[in-house]
């Protein structure tokens, strides 16, 4: 009988504290046993964005209670854990130090190995926790508030960069445009909700690099165009209490971002000849993006895979899953002894 390994994962790279437990046995797909997540959105709303010092302090408050919650859900004790995984980077240095410090300290106390994981690899492999996991190889669209990248993925740890943003990430374009429209933090989801009531063709907003022939992105020019339109609309929205004009601008902004993401994803699929696309990261939860990708890929016989909606944001499950997949393939260099470092800037390809 194949021994079961239990991996406890910690995520604390930005404004979510995530803890999860994943089991792995032999070649069977790893199984999510329990997870707990705390979002700091309400705390940062007053500042219109993430305050790094506040984020770090909140991670300190949340990480151990969340760990107890995961263990309670699973019916297990800390002594039943065989390995501890944590996000080493990229992210906010102070926030990363909290998760890494707790993880490595627990590993030393339990005399089990600690395994540092790349935050983006966690996102990249998060669809393996879904009901419809992908198969290698595939093209991955990593799209979030801080990253917008297209990668060829041949196996766990085998990543080739195909294209990335040269300025703002797609999530930044959503959030900054939402802020210009007077929407609360985090702006992306609020803009998407407002867009449901607008006309996506009302404003002819730019699609930067859409016809460049390369799978790179640019969203800074779109933000400038939105600012220009907001100034024309004025503070009253231009159409009475329903703010229909702003809803139209929100819908047009979302359509511009989604059009670029879809076109570039199809270009990457054409260049590689692959027939499978994985979408990961917070923006991957956007309903219009999923709708447009599903439609475009279905016409071309391409399978599209997403994480479960709950796993689109930062979470501990994706870190534990990435560790489990590395364990299965013998690709681990676990740490012992209590020493560790974090890597706020860390290229996935490295």
- Annotated binding-site ranges for substrate: 142-146, 175, 188, 286
Q: How many helices (H) and strands (E) does the chain have?
A: 10, 10
Q: In the structure encoding, which two tokens stand for residue 97, read together?
A: 């130090």
Element containing residue 11 per DSSP (H, E): strand 5-11
Residues 14 and 25: their CA atoms lie apart, in Å, by: 31
Residues 270 and 331: their CA atoms lie apart, in Å, by: 30
- In three-state secondary structure terms, 304 is strand
- Annotated binding-site ranges: 119, 123, 142-146, 175, 188, 286, 314
- Annotated binding-site ranges for Fe cation: 119, 123, 314
Residues 14 and 281: their CA atoms lie apart, in Å, by: 13
**Per-position b or e across 69-91, b if 16+ CB within 10 A of its CB:** bbbeebebeeeebbbbbbbbbbb
Contact (Cβ atoms closer than 8 angstroms) between residue 171 and residue 281: yes
Residues 318 and 132: their CA atoms lie apart, in Å, by: 15
Contact (Cβ atoms closer than 8 angstroms) between residue 141 and residue 279: yes
Sheet holding 83-89, edge to edge: 31-39, 16-24, 5-11, 83-89, 114-118
**Per-position b or e across 254-284, b if 16+ CB within 10 A of its CB:** bbbbbbbbbbbbbbbbebbebebbbbbbbbb
Contact (Cβ atoms closer than 8 angstroms) between residue 250 and residue 277: no
- In three-state secondary structure terms, 169 is coil
Task: Name the phi and psi angles at 110, rounded to 5.
Answer: -90, -10
Q: With CA atoms as reference, report the closest residue to 139 among 320, 1, 339, 275.
A: 275
């Amino acid at each position: 009988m194949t021994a079961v390994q239990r991996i406890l994962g910690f995520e604390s790279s930005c404004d979510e504290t995530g803890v999860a437990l994943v089991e792995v046995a032999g070649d069977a797909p790893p199984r999510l046993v329990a997870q707990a997540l705390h979002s700091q959105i309400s705390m940062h709303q007053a500042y219109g964005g993430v305050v790094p010092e506040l984020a770090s302090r909140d991670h300190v408050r949340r990480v151990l209670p969340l760990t107890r919650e995961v263990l309670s859900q699973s019916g297990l004790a800390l002594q039943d854990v065989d390995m501890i995984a944590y996000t080493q980077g990229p992210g906010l240095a102070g926030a990363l130090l909290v998760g890494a410090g707790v993880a490595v300290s627990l590993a030393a106390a339990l005399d089990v190995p600690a395994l540092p994981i790349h935050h983006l690899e966690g996102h990249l492999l998060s669809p393996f926790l879904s009901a419809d996991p992908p198969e290698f190889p595939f093209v991955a669209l990593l799209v979030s508030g801080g990253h917008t990248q297209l990668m060829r993925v041949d196996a766990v740890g085998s990543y080739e960069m195909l294209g990335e943003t040269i300025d703002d990430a797609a999530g930044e374009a959503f959030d900054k445009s939402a802020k210009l429209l007077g929407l609360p933090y985090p702006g992306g989801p609020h803009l998407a909700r407002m867009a449901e009531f607008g006309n996506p063709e009302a404003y002819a907003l730019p699609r930067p690099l859409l016809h460049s022939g390369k799978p790179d992105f640019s969203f800074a020019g779109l933000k400038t165009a939105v600012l220009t339109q907001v100034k024309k609309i004025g503070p009253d929205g231009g159409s009475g209490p329903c703010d229909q004009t702003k809803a139209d601008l929100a819908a047009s902004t979302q359509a511009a971002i989604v059009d670029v993401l879809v076109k570039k994803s199809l270009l990457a699929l054409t260049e590689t000849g692959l027939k499978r696309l994985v979408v990961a990261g917070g923006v991957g939860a956007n309903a219009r993006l999923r709708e447009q990708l599903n439609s475009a890929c279905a016409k071309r016989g391409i399978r599209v895979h997403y994480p479960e909606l709950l796993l689109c944001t930062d979470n501990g499950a994706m870190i534990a899953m990435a560790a489990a997949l590395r364990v299965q393939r013998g690709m681990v260099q676990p740490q012992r002894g209590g020493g560790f470092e974090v890597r706020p800037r860390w290229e996935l390809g490295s």
